[in-house]
Structure 1
Amino acid sequence: MKKTISLLLIFISVLAYSQENDDFSQRLKAINTQSVTYYNVDGVDFSSQTYNYDFSEKSLKKIYKKFNIKDTDLKTKDESLPFNNLHVVKKQNITDNLTQNNSYYFIEDNSKTITIIWFGYYHKPSEDFEKEYITRIINNTIPKNVFESMKIDSIDFAGRKIKLGNNCYWTNVNTVQCPYNGEMNWSVHKNIESAKTAIENQFIITKNRGGIKVISEEQTAVIFEGTETTAKKVVFDFTGMKSLLAGMSGGKTLTVYYVAEKVRDNYVSCVMSFWNNDNITKDGLAPLLEEVMQLKI
């Protein structure tokens, strides 16, 4: 049972938003669950969900509790949006040099109910990005083809179809897990700088979690989607992590590869991992990882 690792390592995607128009055909992806819709574009994760409440102070207070928003948190109306709304920003220091900014919009949608749209950043928030996607979500103008099917038979990996069968599942947008065969997440970017920032921030966030220790860290020559490049290989020790996650994984160490590289017409950030008790091929990787990367010997 490995499904919880993505909550620790893979669930967090990080990046500065490119100011150029996004390409719906490849760079924006989404997953629609029964209660929440998750999105990813240029490495930025955001989500939306709707509550069947009227946009009133009483209703909003109920919802604030669900998002850990306190009475003392500043709530402002964004007058530039064509919807009745309240905006809340909360910050969390990850390290001295890395801060997570959480931007929440509580919006009276076209059905007169409340839609909450969340954006998470590890840099200064982009108001233009937020407003663009709020408008698209509320007006339901995001193309249907960017939504992935919840049932996995194959995945679109940055423009290449990879057949995986029915033993794998999504744990987030562009995050796939195959029990005992590895896990990976990726984002498609407009430039290499944002891709490199994404994998570096994922590494920083993981190594700064309590109970996790870096055993080793090295640069490794690999072939990623047919291109010779370098990956950061890190082995994490989870034996000191006293949580449900460590207990359910069954593993004691996690090997992770971080890669940022040009793939076809875009740039990809990719984080791939496997536990010490996963299935490992003769070439030293879990089967899922070998779908996109090989070690260069």
Structure 2
Amino acid sequence: MDYSGKRKKMRILFIGDVMGNSGQKMVQEYLPKLKRKFHPQATIVNAENATRGRGINEKVYKAILSYGADIITMGNHVWDNPEITSFIDSAKKIVRPANLPAKQVPGVGYVIMQINQQKLAVINMQGRVFMTPSDDPFAVATGLIEKIKKETDFIFVDFHAETTSEKQAFTWFFDGQLSAVIGTHTHVQTNDARILPQGTAFLADVGMTGPYDGIIGMKRENVIDRFLNQMPTRFEVDEEGRANLSGCLLDLGDDGMAKKIQTIQINADHPFEE
């Protein structure tokens, strides 16, 4: 269906799990450079860990937008910084998981942004395996897709989940109905970027933006101690060491389906090239 009389291709840049001050600094430094290099029409950033590794506040939300993000997605740590409840309803560019009890929590689970003559829907979804309780992501997504398809075929999903199998199952179930399903949450970029037979792009986890020498963003010593002695340990973001940026680039065709997916890493072992 032609919604505007003129269909155009679309390029999306997605940056994964911004972690603490280290992650914020990487976004500030490299997001403008990435946008100049790749010229995306839409830039999405997951920032559920942006403040001290837990949640986000209004100052950081506005800062990440000022660095070049168009939409900010969240995840299971969405409420960990209590300040978010004071501004999320007025924050038009932040999306929390859509399968939280919609009438019981503030915020929205998807947004539709205008890009020239096109529209892009950005959905945030949370998995249920080894995660805090939430509604069925398959059922919730089915209803949302039916509604959103009346406006646009360009639909991006940030699927925030623990297990690769749940992310894969979700993507295969909706292959041909979604432009892309990109995983977040586990903080390690996977090597399985692909386009499924009906045109939906998939990546099990886009990776983390933040500490490069920590353990999934936390100070190594604390995490190692937990494995050695099983004693309760306070995890802290490793803000002193080297940093990393993880992301991916998507090219969508006229029909909203993916034509290309490319992973991005910027760190000491993968320097940024202009």
Structure with greater proportional strand content: 1
- Taking structure 2 as the reference length, what is the TM-score of the superposition? 0.28
- Taking structure 1 as the reference length, what is the TM-score of the superposition? 0.26
Q: Which entry has the higher C-alpha Rg, 1 or 2?
A: 1
